[in-house]
Amino acid sequence: MKKPELLSPAGDLDRMKAAIHYGADAVYLGDPKFSLRNRAGKFGPDGLAEAVRYSHERGVKVYVTVNIFARNSDLPDIRDQISLLNDIKPDAVIVSDPGVFTMFREKAPGIDIHVSTQANITNAESARFWEKMGARRLIMARELSIEEIRGIAGETDIELEAFVHGAVCLSYSGKCYLSSFMASRGANTGECTNSCRWKYALMEEKRPGEYFPVMEDERGAYVMNSRDLCLIDHLPLLVSAGVTGFKIEGRMKGIHYAAGVTKVYREAVDQINDPKNYQASLARWHSELSYYGNRGYTTGLLFPGKEDLYNFTGEGEFPEAEIAGTVLEIKGNLAKVLLRSKLALGDNIEFMTSGCEGHFASVGSLKHEDGISAVSAQADETVLLEALPGVRKGDLIRKLATK
């Protein structure tokens, strides 16, 4: 099977660099004004230009989101954005609004267009429509089963992309009004407050102040919270069905998530034509994915009737870990590390390096950059740590939380 493209989220430049370091083929990001994640990052004009330059120097593609449902008042700024993107030349833009699509086709014909999942592409006729309009890729609606994806792929020639990991919101392909109604912040203009993930209870009209949980556990009641998507077991099936791009959700997530989830899916994609090793690696990949805060995992709607997407009783079990630092340089058996959080002798750390998974070890030696031993060091300090074989410049180090 041809390897699919692995597409990772970039909430800011640091997270983008981490995703690229851990093997993303492409990253997606956006200016907050035109993106459905307008609290993610600082990709204004200068940030976008720097992101495209940095990625292209490393052979990685950049897709810029311009996927708000635009109002008339947005159009002048979108025209300016199109002019900017014409200059900095990302590999594609991700759009959902037919009017914005037309504006890009007319004013930036050299930039490929990917049609967002917000466009609700659920059948072959819809796919052919966008193909005739000049789209390069379609991001499939999340409601599609594996057989429905296979059917669309069999009747079109266009590239198909599917989400394989990350949060699932209470909406139809991302078209949600809950945040607008409850917080006056529109999800379709990038201001989602994640209202569907708040805690809720049921109150009967004549019993004000009496709250009845819909599903009980020690944390409260959950009405609309879905589990998180994880399709790591089924990537070969998706490729055989015609999917050419795997998308990881999470521009609002931190650098630990951006790096670690990309790392796992990179390894999986690279083993997609080696079924024996793929199956043998699944337990390790699931263990690795447990480090990234989740609400329990589901295959979503890929296999209708097989799983309950909303059968949720609390957050998934995962070890409490944080990023301790970034490897700046390897000198013999020592790693020169820029710390992101406090580190002390006795802390339990792991190098996020292929082949080093699960090798947590207590910090037994900690030195300042000048070689003087230390008991502890603070964030933004540079220290020397003993490194395992295979550790690379740019690898992250994580630290288990102390109990």
281-325 pLDDT, tens digit each: 999 999 999 988 777 888 988 998 776 665 554 455 567 889 999
Q: pLDDT tens, 113-161?
A: 999 998 989 999 999 999 999 999 999 998 899 999 999 999 999 999 9
Tokens 């989740």 locate to 294
User: CA angle, corner 192, sides to 134 and 172, nearest 5?
Assistant: 55
Q: Strands across the sheet with 348-351, in order? A: 361-362, 348-351, 396-400, 321-331, 334-339, 382-386, 367-368
What is the pLDDT, as a whole number, of residue 358?
A: 85
What is the pLDDT, as a whole number, of residue 145?
A: 93
Q: Please give the structure tokens belonging to residue 115.
A: 């049609």
Backbone angles phi, psi at 80, to 5 degrees: -65, -40
Strands (DSSP E) contained in 77-173 are 92-95, 112-115, 137-139, 159-166
Q: How far apart are CA 403 and CA 192, in angstroms?
A: 34
Output the domain CATH number for residue 48: 3.20.20.70
Whether 211 is covered by a domain: the verdict is yes
Q: Are residues 184 and 129 in the same domain?
A: no
What is the pLDDT, as a whole number, of residue 319?
A: 74
| Cα-Cα-Cα-Cα dihedral sign, residues 109, 249, 37, 176 | positive
Q: Which domain holds residue 216?
A: 178-221
Domain end marker among 239, 263, 298: 298
- Provide the 8-state DSSP code for 369: T
What is the pLDDT, as a whole number, of residue 263?
A: 98
pLDDT band for position 41 (50/70/90)? low
What is the pLDDT, as a whole number, of residue 94?
A: 97
| 376-392: b (≥16 Cβ within 10 Å) or e | ebeeebebbbebeeebe
pLDDT band for position 78 (50/70/90)? very high
pLDDT band for position 34 (50/70/90)? confident
> In the predicted model, what is the mean pLDDT of residues 33-49?
76
Res. 201: pLDDT tops 90: no
What is the pLDDT, as a whole number, of residue 191?
A: 63
Q: Which of 227, 220, 212 is nearest to 170 (CA)?
A: 227
Q: Are residues 40 and 85 in the same domain?
A: yes
Is residue 109 within 8 Å of 88, Cβ to Cβ? Answer: no
What is the pLDDT, as a whole number, of residue 188?
A: 56
Q: pLDDT tens, 344-394?
A: 999 999 999 999 988 899 999 999 999 999 999 999 999 999 999 999 999
Res. 22: pLDDT tops 70: yes
| 150-173: b (≥16 Cβ within 10 Å) or e | bbbbeebebbbbbbbbbbbbbbeb
Q: How far apart are CA 215 and CA 193, in angstroms?
A: 23
What is the pLDDT, as a whole number, of residue 208?
A: 82
Is residue 202 within 8 Å of 128, Cβ to Cβ? Answer: no
What is the pLDDT, as a whole number, of residue 403?
A: 57
Backbone angles phi, psi at 7, to 5 degrees: -115, 120
Output the domain CATH number for residue 368: 2.40.30.10
Give the helix, strand, coil percentages of the chain, each rounded to 5.
30, 25, 45
Domain count for the chain, please give it.
3
Q: Are residues 163 and 192 in the same domain?
A: no
What is the pLDDT, as a whole number, of residue 170?
A: 65
Q: Are residues 102 and 250 in the same domain?
A: yes
Whether 395 is covered by a domain: the verdict is yes
In percent, the amount of the chain with pLDDT more than 70 equals 83
Number of Cβ within 10 Å of residue 345's Cβ equals: 13
Is residue 242 within 8 Å of 137, Cβ to Cβ? Answer: no
Q: Are residues 151 and 263 in the same domain?
A: yes
Q: pLDDT tens, 167-184?
A: 877 665 666 656 655 666
pLDDT band for position 36 (50/70/90)? low
What is the pLDDT, as a whole number, of residue 300?
A: 84
Q: Are residues 99 and 9 in the same domain?
A: yes
Whether 310 is covered by a domain: the verdict is no
Q: Are residues 366 and 234 in the same domain?
A: no
Q: How far apart are CA 399 and CA 360, in angstroms?
A: 9
Q: Are residues 158 and 200 in the same domain?
A: no
Instruction: Tell me the residue type at 153.
Output: A
Q: Are residues 96 and 39 in the same domain?
A: yes
Whether 217 is covered by a domain: the verdict is yes
What is the pLDDT, as a whole number, of residue 379?
A: 96
Whether 244 is covered by a domain: the verdict is yes
Number of Cβ within 10 Å of residue 393's Cβ equals: 12
Whether 312 is covered by a domain: the verdict is no
What is the pLDDT, as a whole number, of residue 56?
A: 98
Q: Are residues 161 and 49 in the same domain?
A: yes
**What SS3 string covers 244-285?**
CEEEECCCCCCHHHHHHHHHHHHHHHHCCCCHHHHHHHHHHH
Res. 205: pLDDT tops 90: no
Is residue 246 within 8 Å of 7, Cβ to Cβ? Answer: yes
Is residue 377 within 8 Å of 365, Cβ to Cβ? Answer: no
> In the predicted model, what is the mean pLDDT of residues 188-206?
68
Q: Which of 236, 220, 320 is nearest to 275 (CA)?
A: 236
Backbone angles phi, psi at 367, to 5 degrees: -130, 150
Whether 313 is covered by a domain: the verdict is no
| Range in 50-54, 200-204, 258-262 the model is least confident about | 200-204
Strand bridging mode 92-95 / 61-65:
parallel
What is the pLDDT, as a whole number, of residue 143?
A: 85
Q: Are residues 208 and 124 in the same domain?
A: no
Q: Are residues 23 and 92 in the same domain?
A: yes
Domain end marker among 263, 298, 333: 298
Whether 23 is covered by a domain: the verdict is yes
Is residue 299 within 8 Å of 365, Cβ to Cβ? Answer: no
Res. 33: pLDDT tops 90: no
Q: Which residues have C-beta within 8 Å of that of residue 195, sequence separation ≥ 6?
A: 178, 179, 182, 183
pLDDT band for position 228 (50/70/90)? confident
Res. 220: pLDDT tops 60: no
